[in-house]
Structure 1
Amino acid sequence: MTQTHAASRPAAKAEEQCRDRRAGYSLLEILVVLAIMGTIVTLVAPRLFAQLDRSKVVAAKAEAKTIKLALNSFRIDFGRYPTAEESLNVLVKMPSDPNLQSQWFGPYLEGEFPKDPWGNPYHYNLAKTDDRGGQTSPKIVSYGADNAVGGKGLNADIAM
């Protein structure tokens, strides 16, 4: 055996032992990584959820505006807004009254009538207004996340 060959055997053995020790992660390394990930999630999650909540408010406003446009289309066909008895369902389903069926050119909204982003129904109020000679003006309202009148923040009413 040559001297070079004999000297390389212990070095190869040491390198192999070193590789064996680096093959996996120690428990401490895993815990440190988990702690760092937990800290990042703790800092980022509230901002992410706040953005999701804001997007629900924006979506509710957009849907309420779409419903109001559908109500205006209904008004063009019938010369009036739907009554409380007809409700907003008349925007997606033909009225059962045969006298109204000939004027109905809907559906004015596609598919099922939408719910607000919190899964609650939109509320329809047909109020008299003084600014247009006593004519009616529809109001579409989402009562927000708590589905109750009033509130602040996410619980605030969204009206169009």
Structure 2
Amino acid sequence: MDVTWPLRTIGCTRSVIYIQPKMVEQCVLALRIACQNFHSINARWYGMGQRMQKSIKRHGISRPQSQSGFTLIEIVLVVMLIGVVVAFAASRILGGGDRAKVGLAKAQIQTTADKIEQYKMDVGRYPAALEDLVKAPTGSSGWLGPYAKEIELKDPWGQPMEYKVPGENERAFSLLSHGRDGKPGGSSVDADIASE
């Protein structure tokens, strides 16, 4: 019984060879020829590539190397990371200005409280309003001011300081700044800053 099957080969005149079992030797021979043809073709292409590379190097022709650089995703991630760092740094720097103003407000309130005490020592009573530190009130003897400038009666945020006579918690007077927001209460830089 004859068994045939197709065998595809490279470099043969026929595209399909039908082999019978008794012709195995011829099949092996055909495969060897096909493999030799394949290797010789491959070697020719390889040699041609080598010669082209030498020619390129000799004539100084540059060819693109493997793609180097960053992908779009990498660039977007780096830009986002830089944005986060800049935003963090800006908030720390800009927020630092408000924290510095809190320290300045504390010092300014304490200085103004000292000026109020100086007014009391000279006049004999506490001023009715903060403006009495700048201009002499009518009917007051012993006033040796001005004790303060008009601009010194505002906190670092430009809000007027709050002054009460008599003060809260059985104090002679109370002097405070309402912080950055200018409203009573709050927290952080918006918190009230009172004299001690």
- With the length of structure 1 as denominator, give the TM-score of the two structures: 0.64
One of 117, 120, 141 as aligned partner of 2:156: 117
Partner of 2:109: 64
Q: Counterpart in 1 of 2:136?
A: 94
Residue 37 to residue 114, structure 1, CA distance change in 2 (3 Å): farther
In 2, distance between residues paired with 1:128 and 1:52?
Answer: 30
Q: Given residue 103 of structure 1, which amino acid in structure 2 is its aligned partner?
A: G
**Aligned equivalent of 1:52:** 97
| Per-residue deviation, residues 64-108 of structure 1 (Å, max 9, x unmatched) | 00110100000001111012xxx101101122x1x31x4110011
Change (3 A) 1:113 1:128: closer
Gap regions ≥5 residues in structure 1:
1-13, 15-30
Question: Any residues of structure 2 matched to 1:1-160 within 5 Å, and which?
Answer: 35=79, 38=83, 40-83=85-128, 87-95=129-137, 97=138, 99-100=139-140, 102-110=141-149, 112-127=151-166, 137-160=172-195
Q: Which shifted more, 46-55 or 122-131?
A: 122-131
Provide structure 2 residue ranges, at least 5 long, that are not aligned to the other structure: 1-59, 61-74
Whichever residue aligns with residue 63 of structure 1, its letter is Q
Aligned CA distance change for structure 1 residues 111 and 157 (closer, same or farther; 3 Å):
closer
* Contact persistence 2:181–2:190 (CA under 8 A): yes
Alignment coverage as a number of residue pairs: 121
2:130–2:153: 8 Å Cα contact kept in structure 1? no
After superposition, the Cα gap between the structure-2 partners of 1:113 and 1:94, relative to the gap in structure 1 and judged at 3 Å, is farther
- Determine what percentage of the aligned residue pairs are the same residue: 37
Distance 1:89 1:61 in 2: 20
Q: Could you tell me whether the CA contact under 8 Å between 1:91 and 1:107 is conserved in 2? A: yes
Deviation of 1:37 after TM superposition, in Å, equals 6.4
CA change 1:112–1:52 in 2 (3 A) is: closer
> Counterparts of 1:113 and 1:129 in 2: how far apart (Å)?
23
Structure 2 length as normaliser, TM-score?
0.53
Root mean square deviation of aligned Cα: 2.7
- Evaluate the alpha carbon distance shift between residue 109 and residue 49 of structure 1 in structure 2; reply closer, same or farther with a 3 A threshold: same
